[in-house]
Structure formats: C-alpha cells, structure tokens
Structure 1
Amino acid sequence: MIGSPVISSKPLSMKRNMVWNTAGSMTSLVCQWLITVLVVRIAGGYEAAGVYSLAVSVFGIFAPVAQYRMYTYQISDTRGENTMGEYFTFRLVTDGIALVGCFVYSLFTCSIDAVPTIMIFGVYKCVSLLLDVLHACEQRHRRMDYLGISMILQGVSSLGIFALVFWLTKNLNLTLVAMTAGYIVIAVAYDLPRSQQFEKLKLGIPIPKAWHLLTYCAPIVIGALLVAAASSVPRQYLAFDMGEAALGIYASVAAPVAVVQNGASYVYYPLIGYFADYYAERNYKKLLGLFARVTGGITLVGVVCAILLELFGVPLLELFFANNIAEYAYLLTPMIISAVIAAYLWFLSDLLIAIRDFRGNFIGNAVSLVVAVACMVPFVATWGMNGVSFTVAASSLAGAVAMALSFVLKLRSSKADEPSEGAA
C-alpha cells in the first residue's frame, strides 16, 4: 500500500513525545494569537475583536460540558474501559449538549447580533474537540508526533483561512465556517489513518456506558464549568461595565500572555498517564518525584515567559496591533501573574482526575468561582481592566490551595488503605 511505511506504530520516548507536543501546541497557540491580531488589523478597530472575544468567552463557559474532561480521562484510562469509538460517540453527545447550553445562554446574556457568531464559533471548537479524541488515542500509544503534526496543520490552516476569507469578505461568520471545514479535512486526511492503526473508529456506545460516564464524571465536569466561569464571567462583566471595545483591548493584550498558561500545560500534559500509572501501582516515590519536577517546570516556564514578555511584550503589541495598543501595556504584569497561578490550578485539576479524586477537583473549582464572583465587581471598579486579572489571580490561588490539600489527603488515605507489612 502506497504510503503505509510512513505511518509507524512504534512508541516514541517520553522526551520525543514532549518535544512534539510542545511544537504542535506552541504552533497552534501562536496561530490562534495571530488570529486575534488579524481581527483588529483587518477590521480596523476593536469591535470585531470584541465580538470574537465574546464568542470565545461564552463558549468557554460551556467548553467543559463539550470536553467532559474526557481527554484527561481517556489518556489515564490504563485499564482500557472504553474504545476510541465509544469515546468519540460520547464526545458527539457532549458537544451537542454544550451547543444547546451555549445557544440558550447567549440568547439571554448577549446581543442578538452576536448569537450567530457565538454558535458558529461553538461548532468550530466542537469539531476540534472531536479531533482530540483521536489525539488522546495517539498519546495513549506514545505517538505524540502524530498529534503534534496535526496541531501544526490545524493552527496554520486556521490562520491562513482566517487571513484570506476575512480579508476578502470582512464577514466573521463566513470565516469561521471556512475554518471549521479546514479542521474536518485535516481529521479525515491526516488523523484518522494514523489513530486507526491503534484502534478502529467504530461509532456507537452502549447506553449504560454512556450513562456511567455522564454520572461518574459529572462532578469534575461541573467543576470545570465552575472554573471556566471563574475566568470567563469577569471578562463578560468587563464588557458589561466598560463596553465591548474594552474587552477587545483586554483580549488583544492578553493574547500573548496565553503562552505562559499554555506553556505550562506542555510540561505536564504528556505526563498525565504516568501519574495515573504510578498511583495505580502505589509507587508514591515516583509520583511525588514527578510532581516536584512538574511543579519546578511550571515555575520555570512562568519565570521565563514573564521575563520575555516584560522585555518584548510592548514591542510585540506595537508591531502587531494598531490603534495605540501600547498605551495599555500596563495590563501585562497582572496578566502574567494571573496566568502563572491559573496554570498551576490547571495542573492540579488534571492531576486529581488522573488519580480519580473527583471530589477534591470539584471543591477546588467551586472555591475558584466563589472567589471570582466575590472579587470581580469591586476589583474592576477599583482597577478597571486590571481588575479582571486580579480577579483571576485571586480565584486561581484559592482553588489551587484547595486542590493541593485534597491531593495530600488523597495520598494519605491511599497509604492508610495499604495492607501492613507481613499481613496475610
């Protein structure tokens, strides 16, 4: 068969997998940021950027329902509870639920003109989440080069399509439709042939299995919904209090800061399966050693990114954005601080899922939202756009502390359940 030697199922080393994951994720992240740049540059103002950011924020509230934390669950599924086809079918169900929720929410909280853009963006993101099921299969079989290349293709194609279609039409909705079509082509032409060498994609899932996943994972999904709201609701409040243009400015300055938060995920995400394995084996020494290395890695990524953004953040803003964006550079430092803390919250959240501590995950995320709601109004009133960053920092710190305590208690409980030495 022509081309078959190119597709290999031989596992890669941990180091190579991390390199490919970082390359793909970074490319995708940079391309998504450049899209936020092009929205402003091509449209010639911040209104389109505000609508795009609003779509991102609103779908971000319901993204946890669409994801249902299945990527982390799938890659830590050491016992092979479900097939790739069952995970894919379940993702179709959760995508549908999320889109319905997104539609109802946007009708009641957003201007009617923004609803079509929000829904089309939602479909675009749901298609990418279907691709994640194939990526999780590739990661579980230690072939993150496949998912890395796929993310590179997704990022470059989305950027190219956005630049061309939005420049020609100035129509954000039509542009998002074209970007969605690009994702579908990548899924069919690239990811399916590679993921199916490990498992055939046979659609369908027994109702008892689907119901089990819906109920068993509900606490972590609700928790993810809460923590997503903890970062999205303050942005929406900013748009309500100061206007969509203010949100567009905040989102434009915040775009490069996403490197900090996402860069941290590149450190730990390829290792989630190892955390699950070590916990199942009760190998606490390796588990805690890996935990310490990841903590150090996230700290290092945060420090390096913070230094780089402090040095080059303003020149980058001046280079890519028009309309005197550099005068808002004072927003950078609070954004960097909040991004580092939020990144560690992400890590602890996924770690608790890997060791199946759903209760601790839920409590930590709930704490995060409560703090965000309590802080956002006075913080925005006091610090304006910086109030959003301070709100996210405070809420993420509170949630991270709660999750760290849950992690410690989970390990103590697990050790206490171990049979004593010499026991029959």
Structure 2
Amino acid sequence: MRSADFEKEGIVENGVKPLSVKKNVAWNTVGSLTNLVTQWLITVLVVRIASGFDAAGLYSLAVSVYGIFAPIAQYRMYTYQISDTDHENTVGEYFTLRIITDGIALVGCFGYALATCPLASLPTIMLYGLYKALILLLDVFHACEQRHCRMDYIGISLILQGVLSLAVFSCVFALSNSLEITLSAMCLTIVAIGVFYDFGRSEKFEKLKIGITLAKTRYLLLRCLPFVLGALACAAAASIPRQFLFSEAGEAALGIYSSVAAPVAVIQNGASYIYYPLIGYFADYFAAGDRRGLLKLFGRVTIGIALVGVVCAVLLELLGAPILELFFGNGISQYAYLLTPMIVAALVSAYLWFLNDLLIAVRDFRGNFLGNLSSLIAALAVMVPFIRVWGMNGVSFTAIVASAVGALCMGVSFVLRLRGKTRSCD
C-alpha cells in the first residue's frame, strides 16, 4: 500500500490510524526543530563550559570528519526506504543493512582521522561517530513509521533524543570536562531511547527480524551506490573546506566559524522539515505517472523553501549578533560579518539537498551522482584561493559556488527524468 493511498483510505492497521499530511508535517517539524535547537545548544555549551574555543574546535573537527563518512553510514537508505512503494524489503533487512553501513563508515572514519588529524583527537572523533551511528539505527524505525503516516512517533523520538542528549551533555561535560566521557554517556542515552521507545512503536507495523541475505545485501549496496557516492561527494564538498580552514588557521578559527554557523543551520534544517515528510508522495506520483501532481508538489516545496530562507535570513540579520553574544560571549559578536554569506550558503545548500532526495525518490541514479560530483569538483576548484583571500568567509563562498553548481546539474537531470517518464507512460 502506497503512503498516499494508505492515508486517503484511512486504513487502521494493528489499531493504529494514520495521521493527515498536515499533522505529520507538524509533528516532524516540532520534533526536528527541538532536536536541532538542542544540538545547537550543545555547541553553545562546549564554549560556555570549557574555556576558550579549543573544545569547540575539537568538537567541530569531529563533526566535520564524521560528516565525510556519514553518507556511507546513511547509504541514503532512509529516503530509499520511505520511497519503497512496492515494499521490496522488510524493516529487519533495512536495519541489518544499516548495521553493515554504520560499521563500514566507522572504519573509514578511523582510517581517515588517523591519517589526517592529531592523534589526541581520535577518541573524540570516533565516539562522535558512534553516537551518530546509533541515531541512524533509529532512523530505520522512523522510516517504517513514516511509510505508515505516523510521524508523531518520529517527532517524539527526536524530542527525546535532543532533550536527553542535551541534559546528559550538560551534566557530564560540566563534571568531567571531557568530550570522550560525555560522548560515551550520550551513546548510552540513544541506546536507551531505541530500546524503550522506538522499538515498540515500529513493531506495531512490522516485526523486526534481524538478517538479510548476501544476495540482497549486494543488490542494495550496488543499487544505491551511485546515491552514496554522490552524497559522499556532497558531504566532502561541505567538510573539506572546513578542514582546510582548520589546517590554515587553527582549531580556534574553526571553532569560531562553527559557533557562528550554528544558528544558520536552522535554514537548511527548516527546509528539510517542509519536504522530507513528502518524499514518499513524490515517489507515488512518479510511479503513477502523475506529472501534474508531482510538479504541483514540487512548486509548493520550492516556494516553501524560499519562504523559510527569507524569513530566517531576515531574523538572523536583525538578531544574529545579539544572539551570538548572548549564547557564546567571548566577544564573538565581532564575527557577525560571517552571517550574511553563511545564510546564502545555507539556503542554496538546502535546495541542493532537496533535489538530492527528489532524484532518489524518482530513482535517477546517474543524475544524483553527477550533480553531487560537480558540487565537489567546484568546491575543490575554489576552496584554496577563496579561503586564503577571504579567510573564514571563504568557506561560505566555497559552499555557495559548490551548491549552486550541484543544484543546477540536478535540476536539469530532474527535468530530463520527468520527460522520459512521461514518454514511457504515453
């Protein structure tokens, strides 16, 4: 049963009735926004509890390094799972595959960190990677719930993850002043949420049976490989310039840049709240050959992302400097000049990620890969001169160019894919 038909018919499965699109979007927005704010507050506390920006720089380094390998761990399986209109695979198979991809990503992260980062930073990087890997396991349950139009379960889980992670970070880091001990406690928190909350909700729709055949593992890994390589390229386009800034200007510079950038993340995340609950509907429209419905939804999402960007941009321009000083102190308001290019970069990047997921929903493997690859090539081409000329702002200018190039390529690919589908239906 497709998600659109499931909701339209109001089918009650195992005593659970699906929610409307508006309620699902609302729950996803509340949960995601709460999680976003709490994750941002963690970056604030790193500065406030520790002295100076060194701990913030180390935490940001861990985020950036793991960010390069996060696409391998994700393997774009969430989007693939929620757009699995024919129910090709079970929740247990997706869960098992996520364990495999999590493991591969952590091994790659360790090797890369060992080769490129100070040895003292390795424990923090790997524990942060484990924390994110555990969260990705819970995403398998969330994708199942989204397919059955019960994103209230997802929203509550995200609230629990955010609030409890923030509480644990606040207490443990204040007592230990150790990122390693703090991240270890946060990992245990995510395990507890998965065991005592997420598992039971997902089981209402489908029993979790761990295991996947070797043939299906190979099939899924190869089938989604272009998406993963594309996401890897896109993540590298965002992370490598930050690493270059770290090597050129030191951990304090990266800590300052990341602290200023934290509130700007609301733009990219806010955009995802609009389109992510709708990815299943894009897949349904495309599978049914409903070009008009797909384009109508595409237009609404595009307008929604633009509105989110404009509203957030105005608010950050007006209140950005006072907010930075209020939360971070340490004279960080003098770096408010970084905000404007960051805002533009976040808006263009948000649209790039929308097109990323849209191409997965319509199963355009090649267009997704080429668009992301073009983004990485553009970032590598301009990164060094931009950062050496404009310093911290150079990271934002690099992101603007890279995201714009990638979005343009993906937009062309989407149009060609839609035309091909229309011809095949005719």
TM-score (norm 1): 0.97
Q: Pick from 194, 199, 217: which aligns with 1:192?
A: 199
Structure 1 distance, partners of 2:425, 2:338, is 50
Q: What is residue 269 of structure 2 aligned with on the other side? A: 262
Structure 2 distance, partners of 1:336, 1:322, is 21
Q: What is residue 354 of structure 1 aligned with on the other side? A: 361
Structure 1 distance, partners of 2:418, 2:21, is 25
Gaps of 5+ in 1: 1-6, 420-424
How far does residue 84 in structure 1 lie from its aligned partner after superposition? 0.3
Deviations along 1:387-417, whole A, 9 cap, x unmatched? Answer: 0000001000000000000000111111122
How far does residue 138 in structure 1 lie from its aligned partner after superposition? 0.6
Structure 2 distance, partners of 1:346, 1:9, is 32
Deviations along 1:57-79, whole A, 9 cap, x unmatched? Answer: 00000000000000000000010
Structure 2 distance, partners of 1:308, 1:157, is 28
Q: Is 1:134 the equivalent of 2:138?
A: no
Q: Is 1:332 the equivalent of 2:339?
A: yes
- 1:115-154 equivalences under 5 Å are 115-154=122-161
Aligned residue identity for 1:116:
P
Structure 1 distance, partners of 2:185, 2:240, is 29
Question: Helix, strand or coil: the match of 1:417?
Answer: helix
- 1:178-257 equivalences under 5 Å are 178-257=185-264
How far does residue 8 in structure 1 lie from its aligned partner after superposition? 5.5
Q: Is 1:169 the equivalent of 2:159?
A: no
Deviations along 1:44-94, whole A, 9 cap, x unmatched? Answer: 210000000000000000000000000000000010000000000000000
Q: Pick from 387, 408, 412: which aligns with 2:415?
A: 408
Structure 2 distance, partners of 1:9, 1:236, is 47
Structure 1 distance, partners of 2:389, 2:354, is 30
Structure 2 distance, partners of 1:9, 1:63, is 33
Q: What is residue 422 of structure 1 aligned with on the other side? A: none
Q: Is 1:278 the equivalent of 2:252?
A: no
Structure 2 distance, partners of 1:105, 1:234, is 16
Q: Is 1:288 the equivalent of 2:310?
A: no
Structure 2 distance, partners of 1:18, 1:8, is 22
Q: Is 1:303 the equivalent of 2:310?
A: yes
- RMSD across aligned positions (CA): 0.7
Aligned residue identity for 2:55:
A
Q: Is 1:313 the equivalent of 2:320?
A: yes
Aligned residue identity for 2:260:
V
Regions of 4+ moved over 2 Å = none
Question: Helix, strand or coil: the match of 1:79?
Answer: coil
Question: Helix, strand or coil: the match of 1:54?
Answer: helix
Question: Helix, strand or coil: the match of 1:386?
Answer: helix
How far does residue 137 in structure 1 lie from its aligned partner after superposition? 0.5
Deviations along 1:133-153, whole A, 9 cap, x unmatched? Answer: 001011110000000000000
How far does residue 322 in structure 1 lie from its aligned partner after superposition? 2.1
Q: Pick from 1, 9, 19: which aligns with 1:12?
A: 19
Aligned residue identity for 1:399:
G
How far does residue 418 in structure 1 lie from its aligned partner after superposition? 2.3
Aligned residue identity for 2:397:
F
Structure 2 distance, partners of 1:83, 1:396, is 34
Q: Pick from 48, 60, 63: which aligns with 1:56?
A: 63
Q: Is 1:73 the equivalent of 2:92?
A: no
Q: Pick from 381, 401, 418: which aligns with 2:425?
A: 418
Structure 2 distance, partners of 1:418, 1:312, is 51
Q: What is residue 86 of structure 1 aligned with on the other side? A: 93
Deviations along 1:148-182, whole A, 9 cap, x unmatched? Answer: 00000000000000000000000100000001100
Structure 1 distance, partners of 2:424, 2:23, is 37
Q: What is residue 33 of structure 1 aligned with on the other side? A: 40
Identity score, percent: 65
Gaps of 5+ in 2: 1-13
Q: Pick from 330, 333, 337: which aligns with 1:323?
A: 330
Aligned residue identity for 1:236:
Q
Q: Is 1:386 the equivalent of 2:399?
A: no
Q: Is 1:365 the equivalent of 2:375?
A: no
Structure 1 distance, partners of 2:179, 2:364, is 41
Deviations along 1:19-60, whole A, 9 cap, x unmatched? Answer: 000000000000000000000000021000000000000000
Aligned residue identity for 2:370:
I
Aligned residue identity for 1:404:
G
- Name the count of aligned residue pairs: 413
Aligned residue identity for 1:89:
T
Q: What is residue 3 of structure 1 aligned with on the other side? A: none
TM-score (norm 2): 0.96
